[in-house]
Amino acid sequence: MVFLLFDSLVRDLLPQYGGDPQALPNFARLDARCGRFDNHFVGSLPCMPARRDLHNGRLNFFHRHWGPLEPFDDSFVSTLRDSGVYTHLITDHYHYFEEGGWSFHTRYNSWELFRGQESDVWRGTATPIDDDIVDRFDPDVYDLTVEKYRRHAINRAYIRDEAEFSSHQSFTAALKFLDENQTKDDWLLHLEVFDPHEPFHAPMEFLKAEGIDPNDPIADWPAYGAPEYDARVSELLRKNYRALLRFCDKQLGRLLDAFDAQGLWEDTALVLTTDHGFMLSEHGYWGKSVMPLYNQISQIPMFLHMPGTAPGAPVKSLSQTTDIAPTILDAFGAAPSKDMTGRSLVPACKSGETGRDIALFGIWGGPLNCTDGRYVFFIDPDDPAYRSELFIYSLMPVDVKKPLEIADLQRATQHPPFDFTKQVPVWKIPSTGVQARGATEFMPIGSMLFDLDADPEQLNPILGDHMTETRLRAAMQQVLVQHDAPPEVLTRFSMSEVRSA
């Protein structure tokens, strides 16, 4: 199997969902070989929480923010490796090698990392660094006094030709793996690229294809939230995203060409998806995490090829990120762990039914969100003061790029095991340090209900449909209890009564 994961892949721009097939011909090619899941949604967000869902087949944002795999986690990669399947990771996603993500790659038999994406601490450039920045950046988008922008400005000075882009290098390594292992059985290649994640840094030919003047100052990294960009900057940001998506399409075409040339479709499965989408000014927002999780973020593409199964009609039944691990295990004839709450999508390739009634999704400390495929329901916490009762439940005391605050760890207490921690108690850690760096600064939205049939762009919240709200709230309660959510989470959303029911 090849498990191909892009980051921040916007569903609506793909040819299957209204995008330009001339600009993205290789994404269009997927329909000839792959089943398509049209109602596929995220789970835990953003990047590393999504990957924990992908590995473990269960939602994790009720208990913890961004962080590594836990010792008690049931990664599908570990299961495959223990059953004799060779697992190899090829990636340029540098978050795997920061404090908050380092235990994922060690699950694989082997792994390769290609450097230079975003603010990867890659080049050893001592201060002063101004003379080492070779590009001109638009000051409306880039503040080069901020470390992450300066670090990226240094990185891209070493990335000029297409072959120097780390996503290109990742696909090249994947083609080498396929060439060397095509006659062998029982292997998983996890190919994961950071693109089209921001900054939308693409090679010159793809910028020109979108009509971007390469001599203009660079504007390819939007701030999250509702920044007040003028029309020129907004359109340039969107063009840069589309240019990077064209680059991703070319890389995908290299992989699909290898499948064709080597006859891999006959005995090699392919899974293609993403961790989340990205807002490109819809509803006035840019980014993926601080605003309401509209469908531009939460509804994501998912393609699955199983050898011996011809692609049927697109699957309209619900699926989500937590279903990926059971799907991959099923493809190799391995059973999911008892703690996985997702279910295999392999049967749905033939039946068209996934058996899922609801997809619940969100970010630690933020609103609770769900869909039944027609309606989408956002619930804001009843009381903003809940942050005083916001805890991290973990054995891995780290934040995104550094350890958790010593002051918080000094106030940590031992919490009894949850039903998925294998009788292992965990630390209950106050989150004041994480909150201080802005991890819970969500834009206030109130609770909203949308009917996607009548309002697919989610422009007009429904008022007064208490029956639908009550039904969806009850379904969300069941998911919270199924995942042994901490008591304060149920209380936060007025669902604590379910625990005693």
CA angle 14, 17, 23 (to 5 degrees): 35
Q: What are the domain boundaries of the chain?
A: 2-359, 360-500
pLDDT grade for 387, boundaries at 50, 70 and 90: confident
Residue 497 has pLDDT above 50, yes or no: no
Q: Mean pLDDT for the chain?
A: 95
Nearest to 189 by CA among 307, 37, 328: 328
3-class secondary-structure state, position 299: strand
Return d(Cα 386, Cα 402) in angstroms, integer. 25
Q: Which string of b and e fits 291-303 if b means at least 16 CB within 10 Å? A: bbbbbbbbbbbbb
In Å, how far are 21, 53, 195 from 92, measured between CA atoms? 27, 20, 9
Residue spans of alpha helices (H) in 344-483:
348-351, 406-410, 432-436, 466-482
384: confidence class by pLDDT, cuts 50, 70, 90: low
Give me the pLDDT at residue 2, please.
98
- DSSP calls for 59-75: --TTT--S----TT---
Residue 428 has pLDDT above 60, yes or no: yes
User: What's the pLDDT score for residue 383?
Assistant: 67
Compute the chain's Rg from CA coordinates.
Answer: 22
pLDDT of 498 higher than 60:
no
What is the DSSP annotation of 204-228?
HHHHHHTT--TTSPB---PPSB---
pLDDT in tens, 129-147: 888 999 999 999 999 999 9
3-state class of 365 per DSSP? coil
pLDDT (mean) for 371-394:
87
pLDDT at 496: 59
Give the model's confidence band at 91: pLDDT under 50 very low, under 70 low, under 90 confident, else very high: very high
Q: Mean pLDDT over residues 13-30, rounded?
A: 98
Vertex 477, ends 471 and 480: CA angle to 5°?
Answer: 145
Is 70 exceeded by the pLDDT of residue 385? no
User: Average of pLDDT values for 19-25?
Assistant: 98
Specify whether domain 2-359 bears CATH 3.50.50.100.
no
- Coil vs helix vs strand at 269: coil
Mean pLDDT of 170-181: 98
- 479 three-class SS: helix
Over residues 421-450, mean pLDDT: 93
377: buried, middle or exposed (CB in 10 Å: 19+, 13-18, 0-12)?
Answer: buried
Q: Which residues are CB-neighbours of 39 under 8 A, at least 6 positions away? A: 299, 315, 316, 317, 318, 319, 373
What is the reported pTM? Answer: 0.97
